[in-house]
Amino acid sequence: MLVHSVSRDLVEMLNSLLRNAGLAAHCTWIPSVHDIADALEQLNPELLVAIEPSAKDLKDMAAVRDHFASSVPLIVAREQLSATAAGEDMANGARDTVAIGRVAHLAAVIRREFARLPHGAHPHHHAALRTGLSPETRDRAAPLERRDRAGAGRDCRAGQQFLAGTVWLRRPQRPGGPARHGPVHARDPGRAQGRPRGLPAGPMERPSAQGGRTARDGSIVPLELVLDASEYEGEPCVQLIVPVYKRDERQLASDLADAVRHDATTGLWLRRHLLQLCAERLAKPPAGGLRCFALVRIDKFEALARDIGVTAAEELLTLFPAHVRTMLGPNDLAGHFGAASLLLLLERGNARDAEAWSESLVERVGKHAFRIGERQFKITCSVGLALVANTDPNLDAAIADAQESVRRGAEREGNRVVAKERVDQDARRAGL
């Protein structure tokens, strides 16, 4: 609620009266009529209340309300209420006038205005209304609240505190009544932003919702949301907490050891660790099909670096591996193998599959525009392929064959795939 008053004390008094009457109200003080327009647009209030306004201020408030949010009701609260004053207030644009000292009447008017809100406009208002009702009436209203819970999450944001009156903190427990908060699903990371849909059905006992977020590397990041009883500006409230737990030291050490084996900018394996992993992979029989090394090299990189500058060339050496990485299979190994080269260990069904994948890579790299600052660059690359024997594989010989293949591709102006078998055939034709 937006509350206009010359004194903040009157706003805090109204806030306390409403909460003690069972209404989960949160009053925002608006000291000047000139600030009401911005508050209506930014805060999207449910009610507009004026405490002891002058006739001119009330007319101005009604005019601003009609222009920016005509559906928001305007209520006037006065310490002394008379029929004449109520008539004048309604003539100046107020929907109703109430006496601050008559708490029951004040709460009834506010509750009535909540009930008149368009269905679904503020999904949490049903829960606020039910706090002042009997247990039997609340149970009858439960289906309506459940229907609105799906929309309630849309009004929540991470880091908010959800204010509540003392009635909400001591609500009687219904048989089998669970804590009313939304679940957090791993498939719906957006819900991790905060989806409380109400408050516990019984006394506050730190109810929580647990879930997880899938990281880019496929791992699951656990997440827990906890609702806890607290205080805000001296009033009871419910606080949304994301607990922080100490990480497993062994997992931390494992993650650190894995991080130092990767290039920090591209995520690919560093050369030394790549060769170690390739040796370990070749020591085991393939799961199916065949394995081959693919050496991917940027064509004429030295000349390109002189043309675009050292800084842009260094940035390109980060963007190029990231682009190649998007085409890798789940079982492929990839790492850096020289300034402008990447070494890949591929697992494919047959030799033709490996060549088709390499040709697709060359084509995609040639069509892609690498953006560096305000400039765009297009490059080409060559791929040298070398099949690895399933029996008695030789790591050094296979990599040497891939290097020879990519060298032959570069000699032919690049932008092509050259396999070891074709290199041998060309050599025989040339009499080498």
Q: What is the SS3 assignment for 172?
A: coil
Neighbours of 9 (CB within 10 A): 10
* DSSP for 20-78, written as a single string: HTT-----EEE--GGGHHHHHHHH--S-EEEES--HHHHHHHHHHHHHH-TTS-EEEEE
pLDDT in tens, the chain (432 residues): 899 988 888 888 888 888 777 776 778 899 888 888 888 888 888 889 999 999 999 999 999 998 888 888 999 998 888 888 888 999 999 999 998 888 888 888 888 887 776 544 443 444 444 444 444 444 444 444 444 443 333 333 333 333 333 333 333 333 333 333 333 333 433 333 333 434 444 444 555 666 666 655 556 667 777 777 778 777 777 777 777 666 666 666 666 666 678 887 788 888 988 999 999 999 988 877 889 999 999 999 999 999 999 999 999 999 999 899 988 888 899 999 988 999 999 999 898 999 999 999 999 999 999 998 888 989 999 999 999 988 888 999 999 999 999 999 989 989 999 997 644 444 444 443
- Residue 216 has what pLDDT? 55
Angle subtended at Cα 392 by Cα 388 and Cα 398, rounded to the nearest 5 degrees: 30
Neighbours of 59 (CB within 10 A): 15
What does the block give as tokens for 368? Answer: 């892609």
Amino acid at 375: R
- Residue 321 has what pLDDT? 92
Q: Which of 296, 304, 330, 262 is nearest to 409 (CA)?
A: 296
| Crossing angle of helices 271-282 and 395-411, rounded to 10° | 120
| Phi, psi at 273, each rounded to 5° | -75, -30
- Residue 197 has what pLDDT? 39
* DSSP for 341-370, written as a single string: EEEEEEEESSHHHHHHHHHHHHHHHHHPPE
What's the order of all strands across the beta sheet hosting 96-99? 28-30, 2-4, 48-51, 74-78, 96-99
- Residue 183 has what pLDDT? 38
This model's pTM is above 0.75 = no
- Residue 34 has what pLDDT? 86
Angle subtended at Cα 255 by Cα 250 and Cα 259, rounded to the nearest 5 degrees: 150
257 close to 229: Cβ distance less than 8 angstroms: no
404 close to 384: Cβ distance less than 8 angstroms: yes
Domains of the chain plus CATH, in order, are 2-117 (3.40.50.2300), 155-241 (no CATH), 252-430 (3.30.70.270)
Q: Which of 398, 402, 384 is nearest to 279 (CA)?
A: 398
* DSSP for 296-335, written as a single string: EEETTHHHHHHHH-HHHHHHHHHHHHHHHHTT--TT-EEE
- Residue 342 has what pLDDT? 95
| Phi, psi at 321, each rounded to 5° | -60, -35
- Residue 339 has what pLDDT? 80
- Residue 249 has what pLDDT? 63
Residue 194 CA to residue 229 CA, distance in Å, equals 17
Task: Kindly give, in sequence order, each residue whose CB lies less than 8 Å from that of residue 26, ignoring residues fewer than 6 positions away.
Answer: 1, 15, 163
Residue 222 pairs with which residues in a beta bridge? 212
